[in-house]
Structure 1
Amino acid sequence: MENIQSVHTQVIQWLDELVPFIKRSLSQVLQIEEKAHRQDLVTNMDKEVQDFLVGKITESYPNHMIIGEESPLPPLNENREHVWTIDPIDGTANFVKQSDHFCVLISYYENDIGKLGYILDVMNEDLYYAIENEGAFLNHEKLTEPPEISLQDGLISVNVREWYGKECFGKLSQESFDIRYFGCGGIDSIHVIKGKFAAFATSKSGNWDLAAQLIFAKELGLKASRFDGSAITYLDGGDWVLSNKGTYDELIEILKGWHES
């Protein structure tokens, strides 16, 4: 087992180095490629940020497993005593098109138990982090559990382009207060963590998209699951929801219809 406070101190230092590095890149010419389709982008900065973090982790912890969005998935049936997940730039399209509303996601797990989770809002230089059994923090100030929000009073974040035309989206639009979407799961999750959104739901994700948020959920009394209400772990991808507990039950009743509509 690692000394968690020592690991945490190192991650803070790494992320402090990343902020000016990423911001400088915005004044440079990016190398942009398409992955699955024209809205699914990857840039040289996605790869360079991941390489930077992988290098830091490997230098300090050469025997730890690393799962990064921009590298092949390692065999997950191997020893999982120490596992890191990295999404080097979550919201790459926002990074390219807006130079805003993107973040860096990192998590650290020991024996499948979430120990550390990080969401770095780069442009605002806001660092959110969660430490097992110690709580969640924004720039070292402890966050409180968000007050309960009903679905009727809550803003719900979903990908409108992906969900438009589905019966469950129409029902969600009618029964929630309204729909919002930043186009970056980490930024949308921050709004749930702070109680500004009642929930964030996405039908497509990799485990690097959700591993950090699962630790925040545990520390802040939020609910996280698949659309059908079944449990989700940091090794999973696909559909998932991060929700205020006052919204969750009504939301899941609607989301259960996602795959049928």
Structure 2
Amino acid sequence: MNTEVRETIFQHALEWVLEAGKMIKAHINDPLTIDTKSNANDLVTTMDRDIEAFFTSNIKQIFPDHFILSEEGFGDQLDTMDGTVWIIDPIDGTMNFVHQKRNFAISVGIYQDGIGEIGFIYNVMEDVLYSAKRGEGAYKGNKKLPALNDNLNFHESIIGLNHFWLCENRLVDERVMQQLVKDVRGTRTYGSAALEFASVAEGILDGYLTLSLSPWDLAAGMVIVNEVGGMTTTIDGEKINMLGNNSVFTCNSKIHQRILESYLQEARK
């Protein structure tokens, strides 16, 4: 994707993200119709669907040859990342949206032939926008984010880690993960993968670990984290599959290998 094309797409996407945020804030206290998807804790609301429909309508009108990969069913059925693909989560952190009316985000990642070109994470209620264009750095509002700390001490790191890691499950040995919690300075969980990616990019989290994310949960965050020198892999150290679910480890690259080898690989044995 050349610079001129990327800038045109970026400006349209920026306009739509901010407009979608206004729509959410205008109706934040309206009664919601809340449904469940894969389980009782996997929520979807009328607002999720309305915001996704808003993006889909605008994208198809202005960029009819682009594809859409999205959470609530308004996008395309894709088996390849060829072409320009918008990967959209209209409300990342729906449970927070329903229960707290905060701590959720709009997440939009735009990929060209599988390469992340543009990322937006908009913390709607705090009115904080994270954005990035490939090769041009990442921003919080109009302020460019610095490169991640190259002198990070592993034992002083703070990791985003939800409680599922510490429960007995088939994927990992929870005892190893409990040791990780003891060895780092602290752990946090925010209930929105997009905001956790943004926190890693900003350097207020040093890493984020989760057992299963869909492409729309991570597409924007990967672009933004990449632009500050971070890295994102599966918990096995493999490349992320942008068309399926993944275990995810995004972090300051300084601690990636240490956690991967000393904890994640050990927990998988």
Q: Report the TM-score, using the length of structure 2 for normalisation.
A: 0.91
The answer to whether the 8 Å contact 2:69/2:78 transfers is no
Q: For residue 60 of structure 2, what is the aligned residue in structure 1?
A: 58
Q: For residue 151 of structure 1, what is the aligned residue in structure 2?
A: 154
Q: CA deviation at 1:236?
A: 4.1
Q: For residue 254 of structure 2, what is the aligned residue in structure 1?
A: 246
Q: CA deviation at 1:182?
A: 0.4
Q: For residue 167 of structure 2, what is the aligned residue in structure 1?
A: 164
Q: For residue 264 of structure 2, what is the aligned residue in structure 1?
A: 255
Q: CA deviation at 1:258?
A: 4.2
Question: How many angstroms apart in 1 are the aligned matches of 2:266 and 2:27?
Answer: 42
The answer to whether the 8 Å contact 1:203/1:238 transfers is yes
Question: How many angstroms apart in 1 are the aligned matches of 2:109 and 2:143?
Answer: 19
Aligned counterparts, 1:30-49, within 5 A: 30-49=32-51
Q: CA deviation at 1:19?
A: 1.6
Between 68-77 and 239-248, report the one with greater CA deviation.
68-77
Q: For residue 68 of structure 1, what is the aligned residue in structure 2?
A: 70
The answer to whether the 8 Å contact 1:214/1:234 transfers is no
Between 218-227 and 231-240, report the one with greater CA deviation.
231-240
Question: How many angstroms apart in 1 are the aligned matches of 2:36 and 2:112?
Answer: 34
Question: How many angstroms apart in 2 are the aligned matches of 1:213 and 1:230?
Answer: 17
Question: How many angstroms apart in 2 are the aligned matches of 1:192 and 1:94?
Answer: 20
Sort the Cα spacing of 1:255 and 1:211 in 2 relative to 1 into closer, same or farther, 3 A: same
Question: How many angstroms apart in 2 are the aligned matches of 1:20 and 1:115?
Answer: 25
Q: For residue 117 of structure 2, what is the aligned residue in structure 1?
A: 115
Amino acid at match of 1:186: A
Q: 5+ residue gaps in structure 2?
A: 169-173
Sort the Cα spacing of 1:9 and 1:90 in 2 relative to 1 into closer, same or farther, 3 A: same
- SS of the residue 2:116 aligns to: strand
> When the two structures are aligned, how many residues end up with a matched partner?
259
Amino acid at match of 1:194: E
- SS of the residue 2:44 aligns to: strand
Q: 5+ residue gaps in structure 1?
A: none
Amino acid at match of 2:204: K
Amino acid at match of 1:229: G
% identical equivalent positions:
28
Q: Report the TM-score, using the length of structure 1 for normalisation.
A: 0.94
- SS of the residue 1:124 aligns to: coil
The answer to whether the 8 Å contact 2:83/2:113 transfers is yes
1:220 counterpart (223, 228, 234) = 228
Is 1:8 the equivalent of 2:10?
yes
Between 88-97 and 18-27, report the one with greater CA deviation.
18-27
Between 106-115 and 144-153, report the one with greater CA deviation.
144-153
Is 1:230 the equivalent of 2:232?
no
Amino acid at match of 2:123: D
Question: How many angstroms apart in 1 are the aligned matches of 2:267 and 2:24?
Answer: 36
Q: CA deviation at 1:44?
A: 0.6
Aligned counterparts, 1:89-238, within 5 A: 89-148=91-150, 149-165=152-168, 166-238=174-246
- SS of the residue 1:197 aligns to: coil
Question: How many angstroms apart in 1 are the aligned matches of 2:207 and 2:246?
Answer: 17
Amino acid at match of 1:176: V
Amino acid at match of 1:255: L
Amino acid at match of 1:199: G
Q: CA deviation at 1:162?
A: 4.9
Question: How many angstroms apart in 2 are the aligned matches of 1:75 and 1:232?
Answer: 16
Amino acid at match of 2:264: L
